Amino acid sequence: MKRRALLQALATLPTWSAPWAGAATPRATITAEPAIIDAAGSQALPVWAYEGQVPGPVLRYRRGQVLDLTLHNALPDPSTIHWHGIRTPHAMDGVPHLTQVPVAPGERFHYRFALPDAGTFWYHPHLGTPEQVERGLAGALIVEDDAPPAVDADWVWLIDDWRLDASGRIAEDFYDFRDVAHAGRQGQQLTVNGQPPAIHALQGGQRLRLRLINAANARIFALELGGLPAWLIARDGVPSKIAEAWEGPLLLGPGMRADLIIDATVPGRHAVVDRFGRGERVLAAFEVGASVAGHPRPAPTPAWRDPLPEPDLAGADTHTIVFGGGMMSRSGWPEESAREREARRQRRLAGSREADPAWSLNGQAHMNHVSMSPPEFSVAAGRSVRLVFDNRTAWWHPMHLHGHHFRVLSRNGEALPHRPWRDTVLMAPGDQVEIAFVADNPGRWLLHCHVLEHHAGGMGTVFDVRG
């Protein structure tokens, strides 16, 4: 988009009018079912929704509270809920075949676990995800800090993109091989909390905590905010040591979160623009009243938190995971026997929706039933693990680890200043990234690319923590 087009887009933005789903009512059941709602710029869009809303209700708890929620599956397909970023006990992780049986249509599953960490997390199905998440199944899970930084407002923006067909419906080309083998499913309609770009009013002087969650299947955002002072205070739910000024583009891959503090101290309209890849797109804008502006405020202090277990780097087991495959890559394209190909063709004819293999981790494509394959590595509970991710593909991959947070130690040989904690790390083409964590959560856990079509095309594996 040219500068002028950007300004025009900004001038014609509607004002945010959807009801604000900030406060959560405690609930015992969460129902997933088809619904017809006002979303993505359409007045009657058929979606799949939690509690009839897209995104699903914001689930809010305090640290240490118990999440006690029954999923009622009223979808035509089996489903589960995965609590992304939460260090749950293995049986509560929501991964079909690996941690639980899929919840069949009409059935229920009871999730119950204590919430060990405060922060911005989210929930989504972990079965048929390229379709189920795209149809609207995702929501924010907020665990309040014990001593949160003082703010005047606390907003959640679950950001997404939607691929709509000519009639404005969700295009049903899930698992399209071009998406699987390239950058995943990209949609033309950006949304914040299910609604197209809009203007959000802030009172002059207000300090806002903005919790960003990238719930897109595949879109990476590189977000910039011009004109208002802002800081990054947490990544993937984990508070930063010190608040970092949000100046350059903030890269947010699928699955990743960022907590920001924004001070409404400059009157006017301020756009949040995505500049990832080609062109630029307005995601939203803030409107700060002209009458009352505020004085600049001091940088916020991120919330204190019990430290996560510190990995022992000297004594760590080291494992390397090489990524291969995808279009235009020279190596690692997964091999498939004629028998496997034929079996897949037969399943498709019988109505199964699945991807063809396109990606490999250490030479292997792990298709649907990852639980059957031997773990990538196995470690005794309590040991430290150093993982080297080696991206030999021509594509970006947000790599997500279940059951644990990890420190990002280095990227392409350069140590990262604060070795930030994350649960998902974004890898550029050719990147080598080192992470480390204490494997203290027993069970078999997934490790996968959060571009949902990449995962479906083989880019996920399992590691074993022996209890």
Residues that bind ligand C2O (CB under 6 A): 82, 84, 124, 126, 255, 400, 402, 446, 448, 450
Smallest separation, CB 367 to ligand C2O (Å): 15
Which of 454, 457, 460, 463 binds Cu ion (CB under 5 A)? It is 454
Nearer to Cu ion, 446 or 451 (CB): 451
| Cα–Cα distance measured from residue 314 to residue 409, given in angstroms and rounded to the nearest whole number | 13
Closest by CA to 188, choosing from 152, 213, 218, 158, is: 218
Smallest separation, CB 89 to ligand C2O (Å): 16
Closest by CA to 370, choosing from 95, 174, 12, is: 95
Number of residues that bind Cu ion (CB under 5 A): 4
Q: Determine contact, residues 365/323, Cβ cutoff 8 Å.
A: no
Residue 163 is a binding residue for Cu ion (CB under 5 A): no
Nearer to ligand C2O, 140 or 446 (CB): 446
Nearer to ligand C2O, 98 or 438 (CB): 98
Nearer to ligand C2O, 124 or 422 (CB): 124
Q: Which does 400 bind (CB under 5 to 8 A by kind): ligand C2O, Cu ion, none?
A: ligand C2O
Q: Which residues pair with 162 in a beta bridge?
A: 189
Three-state SS at 131:
helix
Q: Which does 209 bind (CB under 5 to 8 A by kind): Cu ion, ligand C2O, none?
A: none
| Cα–Cα distance measured from residue 229 to residue 210, given in angstroms and rounded to the nearest whole number | 13
Instruction: Decide the pairing of beta strands 153-162 and 207-214.
Output: parallel
Identify which range of 148-156, 252-260, 425-433, 445-453 contacts Cu ion by CB under 5 A. 445-453
Smallest separation, CB 4 to ligand C2O (Å): 38
Structure tokens at 103: 């919840």
Using the 8-state DSSP alphabet, how is residue 371 labeled? G
Nearer to ligand C2O, 123 or 174 (CB): 123
Smallest separation, CB 451 to ligand C2O (Å): 11
- Alpha carbon separation from 50 to 37, 63, 395 (Å, rounded): 12, 23, 32
Nearer to Cu ion, 218 or 284 (CB): 218
Smallest separation, CB 129 to ligand C2O (Å): 8
| Cα–Cα distance measured from residue 174 to residue 172, given in angstroms and rounded to the nearest whole number | 5
What's the angle, vertex CA 431, arms to CA 428 and CA 436, rounded to 5?
Answer: 110
Nearer to ligand C2O, 82 or 386 (CB): 82
What's the angle, vertex CA 386, arms to CA 384 and CA 387, rounded to 5?
Answer: 140
Smallest separation, CB 197 to ligand C2O (Å): 24
Which position's Cβ is nearest ligand C2O?
84
Smallest separation, CB 255 to ligand C2O (Å): 5
Nearer to ligand C2O, 32 or 225 (CB): 32
Q: Which of residues 392-411 bind Cu ion (CB under 5 A)?
A: 397
Residue type present at position 200:
H
Nearer to ligand C2O, 400 or 454 (CB): 400
Q: Which residues pair with 424 in a beta bridge?
A: 400
| Cα–Cα distance measured from residue 221 to residue 192, given in angstroms and rounded to the nearest whole number | 13
Distant-in-sequence, close-in-space partners of 140: CB < 8 Å, separation ≥ 6: 55, 58, 59, 120, 121, 122, 123, 156, 158, 211, 213
Which of 86, 232, 425, 451 binds Cu ion (CB under 5 A)? It is 451
Identify which range of 175-183, 207-215, 420-428, 443-451 contacts Cu ion by CB under 5 A. 443-451
Residue 449 is a binding residue for Cu ion (CB under 5 A): yes
| Cα–Cα distance measured from residue 121 to residue 132, given in angstroms and rounded to the nearest whole number | 18
Length of the chain in terms of residues written = 467
Closest by CA to 281, choosing from 61, 3, 6, is: 6
- The residues binding Cu ion (CB under 5 A) are 397, 449, 451, 454
